[in-house]
Amino acid sequence: MKGQTMRRKTSKTGKAKGMPKVAGETKAGIIKSFSKTICRNLGHYVYRLVDPRNDETFYVGKGQGNRLFQHARGARKSTRDEDEFDLKSDIIRDIQEAGLSVIPIIHRHGLDNDTALEVEAALIDAYPDLANVQAGRGSSARGCKTVGQVKTLYDASVANFKNIRAVIIKIRQEFIDARGSVYNAVRYAWRINMERARGLPVVASVGGIIQDVFTDVEWRASAKYPGRYEFTAKKSLLPEHTALVGCRLPERFCKKGDANPIRYT
């Protein structure tokens, strides 16, 4: 994910503080999988992947069985060109090319699926500059916010999409900070249903609040990121669109458990 995607910055909060010291996990004897007995006892769990070069957490995930070991195997099988949009794999390959191994840390285990999703989302919010492409469950509506953002969210009027057909794309503030504007943050690169999206305006939202609306949207397949699409557009000045800016997304577009950043009105 070169050039257009966020790169991690050195951050104190990204450090793996309190990371357990595990005896025997040297290069010669690193654990690469769990037995069936261990997998049964783990149940659903939430994990972090830590970069041994700087002790920073670069990815948070949830899973069962040997899920946390699959990332390293997947990075070895793919190339940078094949997986260019996946910063996580990029980082793993850099670690492997340095002769080191990713450090997986299980943060919580023995969870049910719903609880694991909530823990995962909270951890994604807690560690900045992660390689996660998607935010955690409920992060848009219920994720990490300042008290001012909470006040804005719940004081804001609910957006009225009656008679307005649009594509809603939920983005993160980090994307805006990295790319310099809401437009550059929202315009690429997405896995999207082109049959539904074509011809519709795009509504960009952050943390459940609508930031901008774009019209004259022209989608095209991304040349850099296979299977994804990007668009060019202009800021909408239509009254029905400008009236949406600053409003809160209706609850039906912020359903609990929905991590998909794309919704359709």
Instruction: Answer whether 56's CB lies under 8 Å from 50's CB.
Output: yes
Tell me which residue of 87, 83, 36, 91 sits closest to 64, measured CA to CA: 36
Instruction: Answer whether 59's CB lies under 8 Å from 14's CB.
Output: no
Instruction: Answer whether 76's CB lies under 8 Å from 101's CB.
Output: no
DSSP H or E segment with residue 117: helix 113-126
CA angle 228/184/78 to nearest 5° reads 35
Q: What is the DSSP string of 138-174?
A: THHHHSS--HHHHHHHHHSPBP--TT---EEEEE-HH
Q: What is the pLDDT along the chain (265 residues), one digit of tens a residue?
A: 333 334 444 444 455 444 554 433 444 457 888 899 999 999 999 999 999 999 999 999 999 999 988 887 666 555 444 434 467 888 888 998 999 989 999 999 999 999 999 899 888 888 877 887 666 665 656 667 778 777 777 788 999 999 999 999 998 887 888 889 999 999 988 989 999 999 999 999 988 889 999 999 999 999 888 888 999 999 999 999 999 999 989 988 876 656 678 999 9
Instruction: Answer whether 199's CB lies under 8 Å from 236's CB.
Output: no
Tell me which residue of 206, 196, 207 sits closest to 229, measured CA to CA: 196
Instruction: Answer whether 240's CB lies under 8 Å from 248's CB.
Output: no
Predicted confidence at residue 141, as pLDDT, reads 61
- Both tokens of residue 174? 């980090």
DSSP annotation of 226 reads: T
List of domains in the chain? 12-133 (3.40.1440), 140-264 (no CATH)
Predicted confidence at residue 130, as pLDDT, reads 82
Question: What whole-number distance in Å separates Cα of residue 230 and Cα of residue 139?
Answer: 23
Predicted confidence at residue 218, as pLDDT, reads 95
Predicted confidence at residue 29, as pLDDT, reads 52
The torsion angles phi and psi of 73, rounded to 5 degrees, stand at -65, -40
